């Protein structure tokens, strides 16, 4: 993520069409995004 990122949005899928795998991938995406945002240097 670049230095100017201030947020993100993860959109859901239809629960009837999902076996739970999308939720697991979504959790990983959120974790990776938070890690990337927290490890960037603060803006001045």
pLDDT for residue 44: 55
Residue 27 parent element (H or E): helix 21-39
Per-residue model confidence as pLDDT tens digits over 4-42? 777 788 887 777 888 888 888 888 988 998 888 787 666
Dihedral, CA of residue 36, residue 37, residue 40 and residue 41, to nearest 10 = -170
pLDDT for residue 1: 57
- Domain-wise residue ranges, the chain: 1-8+19-44
As a whole number of angstroms, the distance between CA 23 and CA 15 comes to 10
* Under 8 Å between Cβ of 37 and 1: yes
Q: Judge if pTM exceeds 0.75.
A: no
């Amino acid at each position: 993520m670049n230095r100017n990122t201030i947020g993100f949005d993860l959109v859901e899928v239809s629960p009837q069409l999902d076996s739970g795998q999308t939720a697991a991938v979504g959790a990983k995406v959120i974790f990776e995004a938070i890690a990337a945002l927290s490890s960037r240097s603060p803006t001045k």
